Amino acid sequence: MTRQERIVYQSQATLLPDAEVIGSAIDDIVETSRRNNERSDLTGALVYSDGIFMQVLEGPAAAVDAAMSRILDDRRHKNIRILRREPIDSRLFPGKPLAFVSAAAIREAVMGSGKGFSMDICRLPPDIFAPLLRSLVVPAVPASRGAQRRSA
């Protein structure tokens, strides 16, 4: 069996600080990445917040390396830092070539409504970043009826 890995990285976006330009560029990144990831058997999630990308990628080690090589060559990213890289037995994002998670969804999951507050996603520890994104992307599986306790 092929060795599977998960990587968490962050980068600074080189996008112009215009909301329309950023939105269009992110749409392009997500669409292209989904195609590439599906072809390469990669899954994961991407977040953009205040000029920072953070992404979780998982899949065959060689495919993760190839994707990171493309990201390193992508002029929309600079100051790329690998925060965590580890072998995995199972994926956190099965069937998700690339989920996009809004910074607002993360802020709400971490801080409650937090409306009007900015949140520095770079401060999220890498070991909780991937599971947090999974909780926002992959729906929880309800417990089976046999496993539920009955009230008297």
Q: Is residue 51 part of a domain?
A: yes
Q: In this predicted structure, what is the pLDDT of residue 90?
A: 94
Q: Is residue 147 part of a domain?
A: no
Structural domains in the chain (count)? 1
Q: Is residue 117 part of a domain?
A: yes
Q: Is residue 152 part of a domain?
A: no
Q: Is residue 149 part of a domain?
A: no
Blockwise average pLDDT, block size 10, the chain, 152 residues: 91 75 82 94 91 93 96 90 94 93 80 62 79 81 47 40
**Are the C-beta atoms of 115 and 107 separated by less than 8 Å?**
no
CATH number at residue 125: 3.30.70.100
Residue 10's domain comprises: 4-138
